[in-house]
């Protein structure tokens, strides 16, 4: 069995699960790692405790390898939001962002602006739905010190062009929320100064498996304002707080959870062994299969057909979303349906049978009665 085949064999989920953008059911390897670490942590033996604690450094090294970064650039955090709060609270100047971002970015930016008074938040016009290089270029002014963006739009699956954004942003910082793309898209991560991610969606590693990369340039400009005891050089008994640690370790409030790090390590090892390009190709192909099924049933596709990851968002005719949602449930398909839009998110390991169930659900909804639905609204959460 090849590494890719082994990776695909770890998708032990219900056939109709097409909701990876919301939550990633744990892989077989991650579950095995979690059980083993629980046993090691239960004995109280120093050897077992130390073995599990070692997962933190192992996970950091694997994240660094995936991002083509130095290990010192990487820190483990509880969530993507934690990493974004560290980045934006330590930033001065003006950050440019879209009001359509998942709230993790705008909430962190506004909290930082209100709390410290050193950051100004500038939002793009609400009529602009994609943060493209052209839009950024037309909006940038000299006072902008950073641009914050999601690698993949949680609403539509639009994949931003990181290298092109890097070129436009220039010497400013580029802060990227990678949760909807890390592990399933093949991109040049070096284009970003800050990468904030989490393993509970596409990596299938469960909650608490967040991570962040702060490049040397980012660390020069982002103060570790929220550094806790784990982010300083202070020793037990020191009366002085002490200076921040060197590297990305400064952006930590507390020590990482070693069991969460173990799950992240297991997921990352699967991912790297299988190969990101191979996984990304399968995810993109499966997204195109969803689009083709939607096209066959006359359901409009909101997702950009040229730049997308694993998310496909559909906009049925007014009154059809409720009926489609019911038929998806009847067919055993798990997806996100909210505000008149439907978000389907297949993974690399999604079986052919899942697409057959999706096709059958759309067919059943096509002949059913029209139900009233509310005006489309943003997809929340996740």
Residues 276-304 pLDDT 10s: 999 999 999 999 999 999 999 999 999 99
Residues 228-259 pLDDT 10s: 888 887 666 665 777 888 899 999 999 999 99
Pairing between strand 93-97 and 119-123? parallel
Span 139-163, average pLDDT: 96
Cβ-in-10-Å burial (0-12, 13-18, 19+) of 43 comes to: exposed
State phi, psi for 221 to the nearest 5 degrees.
-110, -10
pLDDT at 378 over 60: no
pLDDT at 380 over 80: no
C-alpha torsion angle, residues 357, 186, 106, 219 (rounded to 10):
150
Span 28-51, average pLDDT: 95
**And the tokens for 259?**
């069991």
Q: What was the pLDDT predicted at 13?
A: 96
Residues 202, 222: Cα–Cα separation, whole Å: 28
Average pLDDT over the chain, rounded to an integer: 93
pLDDT at 375 over 60: no
**And the tokens for 63?**
């994240």
- Please count the other Cβ atoms lying within 10 Å of the Cβ belonging to residue 116: 15
Q: What was the pLDDT predicted at 377?
A: 42
| Alpha helices (H) in the chain, listed in sequence order | 3-9, 28-42, 46-53, 55-67, 80-89, 104-116, 133-139, 162-169, 216-221, 258-274, 276-296, 321-331, 352-366
pLDDT at 379 over 70: no
Pairing between strand 119-123 and 144-150? unpaired
pLDDT at 371 over 50: no
Q: Which residues contact 34 (CB under 8 A, 6 or more apart)?
A: 26, 206, 259, 262, 263
| Band (158; pLDDT cuts 50, 70, 90) | very high
**This model's pTM is above 0.75:** yes
pLDDT at 374 over 50: no
User: Of residues 366 and 16, which shows the higher confidence score?
Assistant: 16
pLDDT at 12 over 70: yes
Complete domains list, the chain, with CATH? 3-25+275-366 (3.90.1150.10), 28-274 (3.40.640.10)
**N-terminal to C-terminal alpha carbon distance within the chain:** 34
Please report, for residues 74, 276, 311, the alpha-carbon distance to residue 287 in angstroms, rounded to integers and kept in the order given. Answer: 31, 16, 7
Q: What was the pLDDT predicted at 366?
A: 80
């Amino acid at each position: 069995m090849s590494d890719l085949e082994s990776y695909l064999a770890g998708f032990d989920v219900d056939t109709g699960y097409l909701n990876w953008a919301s939550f990633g059911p744990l892989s077989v390897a991650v579950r095995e790692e979690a059980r083993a670490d629980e046993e090691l942590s239960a004995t109280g033996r120093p050897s077992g405790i130390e073995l599990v604690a070692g997962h933190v450094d192992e996970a950091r090294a694997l994240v660094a390898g995936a991002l083509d970064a130095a290990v010192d650039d990487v820190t483990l955090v509880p969530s993507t939001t934690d990493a974004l709060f560290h980045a934006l609270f330590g930033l001065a100047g003006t950050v440019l962002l879209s009001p359509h971002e998942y709230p993790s970015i705008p909430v962190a930016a506004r909290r930082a602006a209100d709390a410290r008074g050193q950051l100004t938040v500038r939002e793009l016009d609400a009529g602009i739905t994609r943060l493209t290089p052209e839009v950024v270029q037309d909006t940038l002014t000299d006072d902008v010190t950073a641009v914050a963006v999601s690698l993949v739009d949680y609403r539509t699956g639009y994949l931003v062009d990181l290298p092109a954004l890097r070129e436009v942003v220039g010497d400013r910082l580029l802060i990227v929320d990678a949760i909807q793309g890390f592990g399933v898209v093949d991109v040049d991560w070096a284009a970003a100064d800050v990468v904030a991610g989490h393993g509970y969606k596409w990596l299938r590693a469960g909650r608490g498996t967040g991570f962040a990369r702060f490049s040397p340039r980012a660390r020069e400009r982002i103060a570790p304002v929220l550094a806790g005891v784990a982010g300083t050089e202070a020793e037990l008994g020191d009366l002085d707080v002490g200076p921040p640690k060197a590297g990305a370790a400064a952006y930590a409030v507390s020590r990482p959870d070693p069991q969460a790090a173990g799950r992240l390590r297991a997921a990352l090892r699967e991912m790297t062994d299988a190969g990101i390009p191979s996984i990304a190709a399968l995810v993109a192909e499966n997204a195109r299969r969803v689009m083709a099924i939607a096209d066959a049933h006359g359901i409009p596709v909101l997702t950009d057909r040229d730049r997308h990851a694993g998310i496909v968002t559909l906009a049925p005719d007014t009154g059809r979303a409720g009926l489609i949602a019911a038929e998806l449930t009847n067919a055993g398909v798990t997806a996100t349906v909210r505000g008149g839009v439907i978000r389907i998110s297949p993974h690399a390991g999604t079986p052919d049978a899942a697409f057959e169930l999706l096709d059958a659900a759309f067919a059943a909804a096509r002949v059913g009665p029209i139900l009233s639905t509310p005006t489309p609204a943003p997809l929340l959460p996740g």
